[in-house]
Structure formats: C-alpha cells, structure tokens
Structure 1
C-alpha cells in the first residue's frame, strides 16, 4: 500500500492507493473470469462446448465464448462470480476516466462516460443472459455492447492525456479490435448461413481475440491513472485509531452537491433533445408519406391493366411552385404550422377504406408536406444553424424510414396500406406525428412573407440537382435491400444478403450524413462527384460484392451531398428549386418505371430496359447541382467565411444529431439480430419423402382493398403445408411499388430459403422461389421477348431428401404478344429438357390446355408432363413435372388477396433414379388413374379445412375438392 503523498492531509486517512490499481485489478479479474471458464470447460466438457447446431468434434475443436461461459456447470458459475467482482473496478475505471478528462463546458467527456456506463451494463446483460437462456436478448445486448464500444474507444483516444505511449497502444488495440470484427462476421455467416464445417472454430478464435483486445484497451488506463491517488478518509473518527481532524461534514456535503451539479450541467438540454427528436421524426413522416404515394397510385394501373388516370397524382409533389405567388407565399410562411399539421393527412389515410379516396387523401398529404417543408427551409435559410437542423431532419428522417422498413420486413409501419391486421402501427405513428409537427413548428419563421433570396448561382441548376438527389435517395436508399437485390444473382450466395448485410447500407448513409455536415467543402467538389459516379457505374454494371461496394459508395455520396445541395436550394426561390425540382423528379420516377412497363405506356419502347439511362440521367442532374454549388462558391468568395460561421454557430445541435444517428444504428442492429436467419427449414412431411409445390401470382402484394397482403399470404401458404412455391409479379423494388420485398417476410416467417429471381435492374415484373429444401444452385434467365415485356425464369436445383430436384419458376409474356410467347416456350422447353433430374415447373404460361404452346412445354423435348391434363379450366397457371410420383393436385381460391388462385401439387420424391424411371414404365392410363382420398396415406392428403366454404374466403374450387392420383 503506497503512503499518501500529502503528509499534511493524512489526518483521518484509513486507506490510500494509486489509481493504477483500479486498472490492474480490472484487467486481472476480467481475464481470470474468461480464462478460468475456458480451462474448466475444456477439462470437463470439451466435446459438449465445441458442439454447435451443425457440427461437433473433430470438425469443430475450439469453443466459442458463448458456449464456454454460458452452457455448463461449474464453468458458468465460476465465470459469473469473477465477472461480478470485475464490475466494481469497471465502474471505478469509467469514473476515474471521466474525472481525468472532464473539462468545463465540454460535453465530450460526459458522452464518453455515458457510453462507458451503458457499455458496462450491456456487458453484464450478455454475460448473465446467455445464449442458452435467451438467444435473442443475448445477441441484442452483445451487439449493443459492441456498438457502444465505438464511442467509448473513439472518445478515449480523442480525450487521451498527452501520453504518447498510451495513445499509441490505444490506437493499435482499437484498430485490431475493429479489424477483427470483419473476419468475425464473415466466419459467423459461413457457419450460420452456409453451414461450413470448421468455420465456427475460426469464428471462436476471433471472438476470443475480441475479449483479449477489449480488456487490453481498458488496461492502458494504467499508464494514465498514476496521476490519481484513491483515498478513504474517516471524517468522524469512527474507525479504530483514526485521527480526529475531519473535514466538516457540512462542507463535504456542499462539495458533493457542487460536483454533482457540474457533472450534469453544461452541454445537454432536454428541450434541445426533444427539438431534435421531433424534427427527425417529422422528417421520417415526410419520407413515409412520400414513399407511400407511388404505392397507392400503383394500385390503380394494376387493376386497370394500363393507364388509369390516377397516375396524375404523382404530381402532388410540385406544390412548392405555389410559393412563386407572393401573396400565397406570405400566407404559407405565416401559417407553417397549419400546413405541416395538414400534411399528416397522409398518415390519417389508413382510416379511409375506399381506395380512391385513400389515394386522394395521401395525395393531399404529400402536397401539403412538400409545400410546408419548402416554405420552412426557405424561411430558415438566413440562419445556418437552424437551416442545417432542418436539412438533417430531412436526411436522417430518410435513414429512420429505412431502419423502420427493415424492422417491418420492408414495409413502413405507418403507410396507408398498413393497419393492425398486417402489422401496422398507424395510430401510434399518427399520435407521434402530431406531437412532432407541433414541436417542429413551435419557433416563429425567421423570414416573413417576402423572404430574401440568394441571387448568386442558378436556381434552375439547383432544381436539377434537387431532382437528381431526391430521385437517388428515394429509388436506392429508401430501403436497405434495394441495392442488395440489384447485385443478387442466385445461388450459391456470392454477395450480400438483405437480412444479414443491410446494416452496411445504413452505415454508408450514416457516414455520408456526417461527411456532408462536417466536411461540406470536400463533398461539394468534382472529385467527390467523380467518386459518386464511379459508385453508380459499379452498381449498375456489376453483381455480387463488387457491385454492392459501388452501391455503398453511391449511398455515402448521396447522403453527403444532400446537406450542401439542399441548403443551397433553400436560399433561392423555393418555387423554382423545389417546385421545378420535384416536377423533374416526377419524370425521373416515371422514367424508371417505364423501363419495365414499356408495354403499357405511350413511348415506352423508347426507354425499354434502360436502367443505365436512368442512372446516367440521375447523375447528370446531380452534376448540374454540383456545378451550381462550385460556381456559386467561386463567385461569392465566401467559402472560408461560411466554413468559419458554420463552425461557430451551427455545431451546437450536432451532438444531438450524432446521438440520433447512433441510436438509429443500434436499433437497426437490434432488428438485424432478431431477423438473423435461424430457421431449421424442415419440410412438412419429411418421413413420407413428400414435396408440396405451389404457384401463385401475387399481384405485387397489394390485395383487392389496397392493403399489403404478406400476412394473409403467409397464413395460406402455411396452412396448405407448401414446401416449395413460385411467386410471380413479385419484384416490388421500385418507387411505384414502395421499394418492398415480400419474399423476406415470407421466407423468414415460414422458415424457407429464398431466391428473389432476376433483380430490379433486370426489367421484369419478378419471379421468386421459396423452398423448405436447400437451394444448391440457381440461375436466372430472361427469355426472348422481341416485342412485349421480358419473361423472367429461375432454374434452381434443390436438395430434396438427398435427391437433386430441379425447379423452374417462369412467367411468360402477355396474350397480346404471340410471337414472344412462342419463342419463350421453345427456350424454356429446351431448358427443362437439358436436365435429366426430377423436375417441377411452376409457371404462368398464357395458353389453353392441349393447345398451341402447351404442346411445346409438354413435349418430348422438355420431357415434362402436366399435373392434370384433364383440367381444362386453366389459362395462366400450370404445374408440370417429370421423374416424380404425382399424388395430388388442388386449386385454392384467392379470396381477396390477389387476382389469381393458388395451385398446389403433391409429389413423392423417389429414393433412387431407378425408382424414378420405373414410375413411367407403367401405362399412361395407370399413371393417370384417379383414386379416392381414403386410398391415400394421411400424410399425403390436402388439409380438410379448405373443403366446403373453407376459411377466410379460401376453399377448394373448380373441382370442389383435391384430386388424388395413382401412386
């Protein structure tokens, strides 16, 4: 025990020691906790703790941290004892670090201390709630711990005292820690998703490395804490042999109160935090309403099969043009609160049952929202800090919208196509929206009815920039899975997966927001623009991870350039910058729909299949905005002055926005953990070697009453016990369809593998495959379509009870294009004939049974047979097969989910190729013989719940009951 350095103050000292002992004790006990569990676990339960859900010893031979500390007695109990002891030094370490780095008026030490405190609490969470106890909460707390490690690590490095040795160690250890996360995630995915033997052992080494590096980083505080001496003083002389010259207790209490006041005074204000939260939520409401407009408009051309007239409501966004009328601009500027509150009609719309009136309600909400935001931005443009807050509310609101959509499987919970029955939180969202709008507009506008306008630069070029920017943000970043599906190319997986890697998009967007605010002078340059163009080109031209890296570059650039570009536009005439800007944006929206809808719109063939043209046009418009920014800065000569002014006046709110960004990232990661694939993918009747296959045209997941239909689809697929299903008209990754992906929800909820099929940049209406059986390989095909719309197809090979089975999912061209359909039938027939394996076709053929192209699909070339050639009521949907034992076939009514029934067939998978061949040695008459249901084993029968009137409008129809065949 070191003697006190202050001999004149030794009176009443009971204990004193160097602050370094806090660091050393924390390090030693923490390492002892983990090391003791590892040693005891390997000694007593080695084979049990290296066993995981897929493999055991010798494929896996080193235990993970979670298995070591959480699965077995006594190592679990010993670990918990030592980790509990560690908590004391840990809290002391965080407290001493705050005392060492605290400075008057500085908020950073408080933020770092808070992150250290939360980090410590989450550590207790994931160590005491093990993966065995509660897997979800263990992972949530683990990820939260890692997330809060980011501000703790960065803050400790930033606040380090001038100790070169300590700073060097911190940088090395922090770099190693975060660098280790990359291979850690990679090998975890290899284990969890790809089931690679031995991958979990490698993952375990990286996991233990994180523990070592994490504790070592905090151990570096020993080099700084030598400046502290911890003293325990008996102020009343109650201890034995204590000296009696205590500090008066009244003075001690006064000093304690003073210290507490200092700890919570400067920097943070609840009022400011509420302001930022309200503004970001109001920005979220804006994007929620805007992204819903295309979705409710799309409902009408779907049912009209062409232009309906309601498409005109996409022009609801151009209302900022009204600000060009001076009396009206004055009225709107003085009544901004009313306009913003009226915009919430877009949230109230879910209460309107009639689709037409719901559309008009949403259109009104969009009109008011665009008008109100344009007026507010222009009115606040004279104050850099407030303008920056408004712009950040818009951009972070988009990020919040993407986070919410990920948590709700690509649906926004406050969209007007959502309600309680399909997972909507409309009432909650509306209530928060009202509060946010009132808080957002509580300050009076800084400019009155005739606000000043910045005459430097061009308002028209600024409008071009706004058009390109908003189109890019909306079309690519309003959902985290959009760019991932652009680069998706089937199995085996060679790129990102939506429910695993979506956070990378959020991280890129976050980095872009930070860069746009902190370094606008670097963002608004031709160099940065060239980097953004490079990212756009890579995303457009390449697949897999390389293509996605281009998408991440583009995402960061779009979010970064948004701040200077919108700020510049706000200072000019809003009627031009936002009115004209949104007008051009609307044409870009139509352009990017017409590249796939060319068969139904005037002039469509001119832009047929030219997503590349859309991307080039978007970047050219953004380039016009960048040119305007650069020329404006050059002419005004105020670049450095503006930079200094922003530094001094516009930074007070940034810590709150940084907190919101951090919180949104944490929430996304928590949702990511909950959505991480953990299904067992078991077929319904494995012991019978039965495969139940279905085909369904889902009409873009909007039901007859304009509600999102995923939940109802899920229920029917589950109740029919379908193992493999093809979904058609399933590509929803466009603005007009809400940038959604129904297959994510269905696959995760039903426990199925999914192949999305040709991505949104392949210009089809979509074909997807869901399977209870592993998809070993899949290729995507675009069939010949010289006149009409492209016909997508998936050719997938499944591992069905150890037998390789090929499944084809196909949507042919329309009735109006007979030559297209003839060419497509020949292509697909040859494709199916190229496989000698048992096969199933789940298709939309647009032909009559036994006539025309039917005889190309069902032919000696394809080798395929009709599941029931006596069913003469079909026109579109067909199920064909070969090499399998057909046992049953049924048609189930759609209720109001879509416009097409669900067709289902049952097959028994032969255990050998000889058995498969023997199926067809019997006469055709014998193979086609119908049998009564009582001759079919129970496991092969269709559910009885759909007999008669069925349930929820679903029943067996056409035949009124399933058909069973000789087997």
Structure 2
C-alpha cells in the first residue's frame, strides 16, 4: 500500500497497511499447524494416528494434539512458526483495541485483556504438551477455550460498520461453536464407547476448529485496511466513520441481531454486581432448601421409622404468616433482616450436634421461604424488578445444579459438608452475606400494602406453584437424577451422568431463555401437552428415549417458571406461596412414601407408584397453567404486563453463559479416563468387598464419601458392592455417591436399579470392565423391594459373574424366603466363576442360608466358620479363595466392611466352571500369613488399633486359606 504521508514526514521510514498484520498472523498460524501435519504424516503417520484403542487402518487421520505433540521434527516445525505468530498476534490485539476504543466505554479494554490472556494461554498449551505436564496442559487449554467466548462475542459487538466483516464474523463464529457439538459427540464415541474410526472423525472436527479459530481473527484484515503503520488512523474508522454504502443504522441492527441485542445498552459494573448478587442469593436459597431433606433424613435412618423430626419438613410453609396484615407489612419493610436470618441455614455447619444442626437448617428454610415470598409480592407492581427476582430464583437453581456437578452431586455449602469432605462453607457464607446485603439494598416501593391481583384464582396459582417447585426440586436440582431414571446397566445404551449431564443444563438454559423472551409460547396448552408427553416418556422408557422426554420436561419446567411465578406473585402470598409450599411438602412425602411404604402409615397405598407422583405433579402445574391461560384470554392488553425495562437480561444471559461454561469445564475435568487398573494384576488377585453405606451419611451427619474412599483405597479393593446407595430423592439430597467413588478410585460403576425402581439401592464398583449387567427386583409381596445386580466382568481375560444383592427386612420372612429362592436360581444359571456380595438377613448355616449356599446356586460361603454374621455375606464359586477379613467401620456407617481375596483362573482353566472346586475339608483349611505370597495379603495398617477407627475385628486379623 502506498504511503499517504508526504516527504515532509521525515520520521516515517516505513509504512504498510494494517491488514498485513492480520494476513501475517493468519499465514504463520496456518503454517505452524499445517507444516506439522505434513511432516508428521510423512515421517510418523502410523504413530500419530494410533490412539489408546485403535491404529491404522481403523484410524487414518491424526488429531491436532498428536500432530503437534512430542515427535521430532514436527513439534519443532510447529513451535518455530507458532513463536513467529506471537508477534503479529499481539499487534493484532493492540490494533483492535485502538480501532474500537471509545471514550467512556469499558468493553474494548475488557476484550483487549481477554485477547492478551488468550494469546498467552495459547502459548501455554502449545508449548506444554500433555506429556510434559498433563494437568497444566489441560488447565491452559480450558482457559484458552473459556477466553475464546468473550473474545468472539466482544469482536462481534465492537465490529466497526463494515458489512462484509460483520457477515464473516457471524458465519465463522457460528461454525466454530456449532463444530463443538459433533466434536464432543465423536470424542465420547471414541473415549467411552470405543468405536473404531470415531477418533478420526473427531480429528477432522478438531482441525476444523483450528481453521475457523484462525479464520475468525483473519477477518480483522477487512477492518485494518483503514490503518497504516506508524499507527495513525488514516481512514477514520476509529472515529466511527462509516465508509460503506450500507447505512450505519442497518449495520448496527446486524450487530444487534448477531448478539440478540443483549449488549446494545452498554455495560455497567454496578448493574452486573446486582445481578451477580441476585443469582448467588437465589443459589443460597436452593442450597438451604435442598439441604433440609438430607438433615431430616438422618433421623429416621437411626430410628428405622418415624422419628418426629420429620415435622421440620413443614418449615417451607412460612409464607402462610403473610396472611396476617401487620406481620406481612413488618416482613416487607424488613426484608434485609429476614433474608440475613435465612443464612442460619448456612451457619448450621458450625453446629456439631445433629439435632441442633437440623433446627438451624429448619429455621433458615423458614426465613428463606418467608423472605422470598415477601420480596416477590412486594416487587409484583414493578414488572422489570419482579422479572429480576424470578430470574434470580431460577438461575440460582441452575447454579445449584452446576455446583453439585462440580462437587460430585454434593453442594459445597450444605450443612453436611465441611473442610474435611470438600466443603466450602466459610467462603460460601461470606459471599452469601455480601449477596444478601446487595440483594436487599433497595427498599421496596410498597410497604406491605400491595393490592393483590384479584384476577384469576389464587388457589389455582398455589396448585401450580406447589407442582412447579416439586418438579424443579425433584428433577432438576441435580443433573444426574433424570439420567439415573433411564439407566439400565451395561453395555451403555443411554446417557451417563459425568458425560451427558450438560444436556440437562442446556435444556434448562434453553427453557429459561424461551420463558424470558417468548412467555406466550409456553403459556399454551400445546406446550403443556408436550411437557406431559416428556414426563410420560421419562416415566415409561429407559435409555435415550426416556432421556429425550426428560429434556423436554426440563426445558418446560424452567420456561413456565417465569410466567407462573410472576402470575402467583401478584396474588395473596399466603395462599399462592404458603399453600403452594404446603402442597409441595405433600408431594415430597408422597415421593418418599412410594419407596418407604414399609415404614410409614398408609405407605402400602402408594407403594411403587412414582407414576402417580409424576401425574400429580403435572396436573398441579396444569392447574396453574389453566389460570394463566384463562387470564391471558380475558385480557386484551397482555403486553402491558411485560417489563418496561429489560436491561438486566443481558447480565442474566451472560450469567447463564458463564454457568454453562463452568459446567463444561467441570465436565472436561471429570471426563472418564477409562484407565482403570487392579491392585495386584501380577498375581491375578481380585479383592472383593461388601458394604452397607447408610446413604453416605456418617454417624455425626457428615457426608462420608471421602472417608469411604480412603478405606476402600487402602484396603486395595478391586470390586465392591454398595448397599443403601440410592440417594436420588429430595429427602436424600438428590445425590450419587458412586460418581465420586468411581472417578476418584478409577473404577467402572453400575448404579443399579434407578430411583424410579423404588429400592434403597444396590451399586457395583469395579476395577475390571463391566461387560454386561442386568438389574433385578426380587419378589417382595409384603415388604420393601429387594434390588440385585447381575454383572459380568472381564477379570484378567476371564469372565467372572458378580451379584450384588440386598434382601428384605427381618419382619417379612415370606419375602426373604422367596428372594432366597430367586437369587439361588439366578446364581445357578451361570457356570462361570462367580461372587455374591450381599445383605442376607439370616443366621449362618440356618434357614434361608441353606438356600443361598446350595446345590441350586453352586455357591460356597467365604468362611462357613464365621458365626458372627447376620446381614453381610460373601459367597463364591469357581475361584480360589485366599483371604477373608472384617474391617470395623469407625463412625462412617452402622455396618462393617467385609473383604475377600480370590485368585482368578485363566480363561482356558475357567471353562466348565469347576476347575477350583475341591473338597470341603481342603476348602476350609487355613494357613498362616507367611505361607501366602505378598500380593495375596491384606494391608498391615489395619492390624491392632488400626487407623482412623478402622481395624480388623471379630478375628482380630485376616484369615488366609490354602484353597
């Protein structure tokens, strides 16, 4: 480009157009990747297409990471050119800032900072490979992807009035983020399902991301044409001059369309802090509410029936007090005090005594429900402010679900958490106080004298609120709940919690956006009918079909929340929220009664009827929708009920984006490695255990996952059955202990019969691949259902069957007899080596014991001389039993951990199943520890007093056997 400067500008020695910075950046970046690809394919093609499962010819195109990785010389080519790219890259970011900065605008600075950090993190993950340091490579890669979002959005928002550049940015950004969906899909096909060729397809999408990412930045060449270096703006673009033939107003409209108009009103830090405080306060509400069931549940566990503490479930009905006018005025005028007092529910973690901790949580829930009902009611005359409050509540629920996913289904600020088990209670409490102060910093315009909307029925609104809150809490307070409803074992044919949980978050997000921008779309019978179809599909079907219904239901529940809560807020709060929460409480009890029918009055009437619970929920929501639709039909001025100011929406949408991004980062960190190794493979030893985990609450009402993990790891257990493990109900916190244990210990997991199968749970964790598993509900004509898992494992190349089983309770002898016969036939149906990890409720060598240990089952007791058992038993056949131990549980649960060691025959010897069958006399011959190899022995750390309250007991030391 010819210089526009005259000779009088003697200081200018060289000038060139600013677009050459963009072109040089593009050329060097593409050269870095493509040169490595060409050199790598030429020199190491078969090595760089090889992955952990397949190589050439199943996989025939390398991934980006394999191409630019550790091999010489392709890595050197890549690093050379990427280093040269850094200069134009920093210049590109600087020129973009100069082009877009305006007086009084903070966004250009924020985008420039993101661009600089993005450049630095790019250098981080490219120069630090996964081989050099896997953790830092992943951290820097995630940071780069996170920063790409604000950089991309910021460039579109700040685009100068250049029609061609705006068009290209829209197309390239859409293609980039659209490519992420198939990229993740094919990575899952490769990593989880191990499909041959999937990694090659994934590699193509990965390369497409590189091309699109660099291409997006190349568009700056169209904007930098007005720049000349030494940098002075010779074209006037930085002054907002529009040199195209397209009117500026049209181009601005195109920019608004590209960003949904969200950022057209500018950015104010104070407003952003307001929304952040609102959403966090909503998160605190859901954290306190969802913790109530867990701390209540602790007491009937110990009483084995109604304890009396269940009455605190009714803490949510506090809004009924708003029926008293003076009290309502007092609460509305003093909302700050009410909301601050609700934080007692977070302070409860400081109370050691479980009963007092429960009372503190109950008080916190009481004040939270009272405060939020008063806030919604007092703000009901201000449409924009009411919408902000409702979004704070609903986005707070989504934040709660995201936090629970990041903490393996535990909420980090629950009162069952503390520093020792992963809690962030102190940090959460400080933030909660700050959020509550900002949330209540503006006094309500009305002081309790708000005139309730007499249009419509407050009773129908109460029905709708009760059904809605139960649906949100029971289904959407944890991303794994609906996934476990449709789980049916191995091989995997549906979604899994740690891989596909984001689909639930995405559906919730989409529902919120639809409810926010298109409330008329969701307040129709068509939308309600589709939600009912989704609920029915979730209830009746498993695998992906059932989950598709779950996603429909999730989107609808979030979408209808905004108009339904907004409509209810305008009516008498004592009815809509007080009665609404009372109905919610009955639904909570209803959905516990369907599984706890053996312990509660009237329980058999609703035994195993989760379908009735779902039907009742949808009918109640339908009542609220009926009232909404009726009022919409009667009003010819529906538009006037909409908010006059929607400036807050951009911050809420940004918050939703950040929460989704945080979830995806957590999902990346939690993605299964599938690199699971047994402890003593060299000796072909399988260590098996059985443990009743008491719903993952220890004797002092703390979540016990960390302590369980430590004991399982230190005992070197390869396969373990967990009983009383189904926590996917409101009363149990909608948790899943197996996720944390499986991921931290490096084990495959079968959750067992899901929460819609009405059992107390049976789960299987295994260091060995689970080839197949089926779930059984054993005959239970009178008492509680007895769950069982029949799984086939690949143990050192030998197929071994493992059964995990929980028998019915002592009070129902006929149930236990029928169950023993069923399980005996099930175990006898296989001639493969087998292990039973069970809870049998029988005396050794008496009664039903002789059905489990019989010719029908073919099973043997791991130690028939162990007379001091009643519940837990380990049986086996076709394996060489080498050791058996009983380990005290300390205060983790109310049941010990039983462990047995077996040597597994090779696949050829295992054919026929009887290779290790020997006489009873030889089978029971015990030997000293010194007579068995080192790899067969139990850890010595649990001898004597043991550690942390865990020790070998009953026998005082492990037993070892010759056969």
TM-score normalized with structure 2 length: 0.92
- Structure 2 counterpart of 1:424: 423
Which moves more between the two structures, 519-528 or 608-617?
A: 519-528
Task: Report if the CA contact (8 A) 2:802-2:837 is conserved.
Answer: yes
**1:852 has 2:847 as partner:** yes
Report the alpha carbon displacement of residue 149 of structure 1 after superposing the two structures with TM: 4.5
Residue deviations 1:334-377, cap 9 Å, x none? Answer: 11111111111101111111111111111001001111111111
| In structure 2, distance between residues paired with 1:547 and 1:13 | 70
Aligned with residue 958 of structure 2, among 937, 952, 962: 962
Task: Report whether the alignment pairs 1:616 with 2:615.
Answer: yes
Q: Secondary structure at the match of 2:292?
A: helix
For residue 178 of structure 1, report the CA deviation from its aligned partner.
3.6
Q: How does 1:785-824 map to 2 (within 5 A)?
A: 785-824=780-819
Once the 2 structures are TM-superposed, how far is the Cα of residue 34 of structure 1 from its aligned partner? 0.6
Within-5 A mapping of 1:679-694: 680-694=675-689
Deviation at 1:164, TM superposition (A): 7.2
Structure 2 match to 1:300 = 299
Structure 2 vs 1, CA of residues 119 and 805 (structure 1 numbering), >3 Å: closer, same or farther? Answer: same
Quick check: 1:203 aligned with 2:195?
no
2:223 to 222, 225, 228: 225
1:880 aligns with 2:875: yes
Deviation per CA, 1:116-139: give whole Å up to 9, x if none.
666555434433333223333433
CA distance in 1, matches of 2:509, 2:503: 10
CA contact (8 A) 1:115 1:152 kept: yes
Shift of the alpha carbon at 1:412? 0.8
Inter-CA distance 667–679: structure 2 relative to 1 (3 Å threshold)? same
Q: CA deviation at 1:628?
A: 1.6
User: Given the superposition, is the C-alpha separation of residues 584 and 772 from structure 1 closer, same or farther in structure 2, using an over 3 Å criterion?
Assistant: same
1:900 to 885, 895, 901: 895
Shift of 1:435: 1.5
Unpaired runs of 5+ in structure 1? 236-244, 248-263
Q: Distance in 2 between matches of 1:227 and 1:624?
A: 61
Q: 1:727 aligns with which of 715, 722, 726?
A: 722
Structure 1 equivalent of residue 256 of structure 2? none
1:226/1:148 CA distance change after superposition, 3 Å? closer
Moved more, 543-552 or 100-109: 100-109
How far apart in 2 are the matches of 1:966 and 1:299? Answer: 44
Q: Structure 2: how far apart are the matches of 1:789 and 1:323?
A: 41
The 8 Å contact of residues 144 and 670 in structure 1, kept in 2 or not, is answered as no
Deviation at 1:933, TM superposition (A): 1.8
Structure 1 residue 268 displacement after superposition: 2.5
Distance 1:626 1:729 in 2: 38
Residue 708 in structure 1 maps to residue 700 in structure 2:
no
Write out aligned runs for 1:803-952 (5 A): 803-914=798-909, 919-920=915-916, 922-952=918-948
Please give the alpha-carbon distance, in whole angstroms, between the structure 2 residues aligned to 1:448 and 1:8.
74
Aligned counterpart, 1:240:
none
Deviations 1:392-434 (A, max 9, x none): 1111111111111111111111111111111111111111111
Matched, 1:134 2:133: yes
d(CA) in 1 for partners of 2:506, 2:337: 35
Distance change >3 Å, CA 922–CA 784, structure 1 → 2: closer
Count of aligned positions: 935
Matches within 5 A, 1:492-507: 492-507=491-506
Provide closer, same or farther for how the CA distance between residues 924 and 710 of structure 1 changes in structure 2, counting only shifts above 3 A: same
Task: Note the 1:489-888 alignment, pairs <5 A.
Answer: 489-643=488-642, 646=643, 648-649=644-645, 651-678=646-673, 680-888=675-883
| SS class of match (1:490) | coil
Q: Which residue of 1 aligns with 2:211?
A: 212
CA distance in 2, matches of 1:549, 1:266: 37
> Do 1:14 and 1:234's aligned partners in 2 also have CA atoms closer than 8 Å?
no
CA deviations 1:32-88 (Å, max 9, x no partner) are 111112122333444443343444455544321112223234433432332343344
Whole-angstrom CA distance in 1 between matches of 2:232 and 2:667: 52
> 8 Å contact 2:40–2:74 — kept in the other structure?
yes
CA distance in 1, matches of 2:102, 2:527: 37
- Structure-2 change in CA distance of 1:162 and 1:234 (3 Å): closer
What's the secondary structure of 1:70's corresponding residue?
Answer: coil
Distance (whole Å) between structure 1 residues aligned to residue 109 and residue 462 of structure 2: 42
- Contact 1:884 1:908 (C-alpha < 8 Å) held by counterparts: yes
Partner secondary structure for residue 370 of structure 1 = helix
Instruction: Say if 1:94 and 1:521 are closer, same or farther in 2 by CA, change over 3 A.
Output: farther
Matches within 5 A, 1:154-173: 173=172
The change in CA–CA distance for 1:961 and 1:350 in structure 2 (over 3 A counts) is same
Is contact 2:879-2:916 (8 Å) kept? no
What secondary structure does 1:581 align onto? helix
Contact 1:107–1:267 under 8 Å retained in 2? no
Which residues of 2 match residues 211-360 of structure 1 at below 5 A?
A: 211-222=210-221, 224-225=222-223, 228-232=226-230, 267-360=266-359
* Equivalent residue runs for 1:345-384 within 5 Å: 345-384=344-383
TM-score by length of 1: 0.91
1:2 aligns with 2:23: no
Structure 1 residue 105: Cα displacement: 9.4
Q: Which residue of structure 2 lines up, in the alignment, with residue 34 of structure 1?
A: 33
1:775/1:83 Cα in 2 relative to 1: closer, same or farther (>3 Å)?
A: same
Moved more, 947-956 or 309-318: 947-956
Deviates more, 1:764-773 or 1:194-203: 194-203
Give how far 1:505 is off.
1.6
How far apart, in 1, do the equivalents of 2:84 and 2:640 lie? 55
Aligned counterpart, 1:70: 69
